[in-house]
Structure 1
């Protein structure tokens, strides 16, 4: 990941970096890796995330098609 610093404006570059990291999911990944997660818990979490994503897609599709 790369962020350009323009006109020695480090604060703005730091904000851009944080936003990029947030979008990539780096902070969530770091939080998840703080503690050990059992494989069964990992599978359950990933399944729940997949269901959440699928429902979100359905919700967006329904909203777009006007049901």
Structure 2
């Protein structure tokens, strides 16, 4: 995994945390929850390709 990917995921986390706090303090808890879920989905979509590559490497290593 590249260090660049880690920084991207960290940036998404920071942005989502800031948006979440702003929305909660303005009384929009539902939108804060949706923002958090959207940030999680975006981060997971970025990681899916890395997980697929990991499974392929393990499969090739053990000859499965």
TM-score (norm 1): 0.40
Higher relative helix content: 2
